[in-house]
Structure 1
Amino acid sequence: MASAFVVGDRFKDKVAELLENSDSPMPQHLRQELEKTLEKAEPKTLSFGTARRLKKYLQEKGHPYFLHELLEDSSLHLPEFVKPPRNPELVARLKKIEAKLANEEYNRITRNVNTQELSHSGVLADIGLQVRSAKAMVVTVFNFLVTVVAAFACSYMGSQYLFTDTSARVISAVIAASVVGLAELYVLVRTMEGELGEP
């Protein structure tokens, strides 16, 4: 927060003139403060208290200029902000909280990783699992085809007792094979849904 002015050349000239003028006696304390201000190294600063006393002196003695005229080319002196040192206990707590948050974030990211499943032979175990899955799929498709072909053959052979015409026998065999195939597909889909639905 500002507590002083950085005085300019106008102030220096007018105050030097005031100090040399002996017509109106200036209070000793104010004179010493002004002399000290003019003797300071650059930047020369004038405290607010000294500025108030100077204003009061100028008003009482009826001088032809006012304080704001003296300070026209002056500026506020803003001291440099000194950052207070941080509390070591607070710093330690903040580091502890940051470490905890980082650990929680790490656990959130790696929650899907199961370290017990990882082993040196993990890749081979995955390949074996995929081979077994593919083998089961091939067996299922083969079973489906054999069932449909067998249903067709059975219907075709059995329909010779009902129909004498070959086209009627083929149509009845296709219908029977289609019904058996659809039933087999339904059972297959339900089985796969059950396997996929398991956790």
Structure 2
Amino acid sequence: MASAFVVGDTFRNKVTELLEKSDSSLPQRLREELEETLAKPEPKTLSFSTARKLRKWLQDKGHPFYLHELLEESSLHLPEVLKPPRNPELVARLEKIKAKLANEEYNRITRNVNTQDINRSGTLADFGQQMRSVKALVLTIFNFLVTVVAAFACSYMGSQYLFTDTAARVIAAVIAASVVGLAELYVLVRTMEGELGEP
């Protein structure tokens, strides 16, 4: 917290003139404080209490200049804040907590990494498992297409007894194939959900 001014050249010049005047009736204590302020090495600081005494004396004597004019080029002196040393026990605890949090974050990130899978990558067993899954997928798609085409063909052939117009027969076959395709998709999705372990 500020408790002094860093005085500028205006203050130095005016106070020097004031101190040199032999007829000035400066109180002895105020004179000593002002001389001590001017004798300080740079930066020269003027305490607030001395500034108050000087302002009061200037007001009482009716001098033609005011304190704010004296302090025109001055600034507040903000002393350097000294940080207290950190407690070594606290620092050690903080480092331990940081290490623990970093370890937990690492474990969370690498939770789903299986080192055995990494070591086995590229083996013939993995290739066989991948081929089985691809084969199952191809068979499922082929089965879906065969079912839809067969439903279309059966509906087209069977609708000849109901409709004589070819356009009506094609529309009836498309509707029947769409219904069978949607039913097949429903069964396929439910089967895949069961394989993934979802209800």
- Above 0.5 in TM-score? yes
Match of 2:36 in 1: 36
Deviations 1:48-67 (A, max 9, x none): 11111111222233323221
Which stretches in structure 1 are left out of the alignment for 5+ residues?
Answer: 149-181
The separation in 2 between residues aligned to 1:74 and 1:191, in whole angstroms, is 83
- Which piece of structure 1 moves more, 102-111 or 72-81? 72-81
Whichever residue aligns with residue 42 of structure 2, its letter is E
CA shift, 1:83, in A, is 3.3
Correspondences of 1:41-120 after superposition (within 5 Å)? 41-119=41-119
- Give the whole-Å Cα distance in 2 for the aligned partners of 1:133 and 1:23: 110
2:195 maps to 196
Residues 18-69 of structure 1: CA deviation (Å, up to 9, x unaligned): 1122224322221111111112222211111111111122223332322122
Change (3 A) 1:123 1:71: same
Structure-2 separation of matches of 1:105 and 1:31: 67
Q: Which residue of 1 aligns with 2:16?
A: 16
Distance 1:17 1:137 in 2: 102
Paired with 2:190 and 2:52, the residues of 1 have a C-alpha distance of 97
CA distance in 2, matches of 1:77, 1:191: 78
Structure 2, unpaired ranges of 5+: 148-179
| Counterpart Cα distance in 2 of 1:16 and 1:107 | 72
**How many Å separate the matches in 1 of 2:35 and 2:105?**
65
Partner of 1:173: none
What SS does the aligned partner of 2:5 have? Answer: strand
Matches of 2:189 and 2:27 in 1, distance apart? Answer: 108
CA shift, 1:70, in A, is: 1.4
The secondary structure found in structure 2 opposite 1:25 is coil
Q: Distance in 1 between matches of 2:56 and 2:40?
A: 23
Specify the alignment match of 1:155 in structure 2. none
Whichever of the two has the greater Rg, that structure is 1
Identity of aligned residues (%): 65
Higher mean alpha-carbon deviation, 88-97 vs 1-10, is at 88-97
Give the TM-score normalised by the residue count of structure 1: 0.62
Task: Provide the TM-score with structure 2 as the length reference.
Answer: 0.62
* Paired AA for residue 72 in structure 2: E
Counting matched residue pairs gives 156
Is the partner of 2:115 in helix, strand or coil?
coil
Quick one: distance in 2 between partners of 1:54 and 1:191? 93
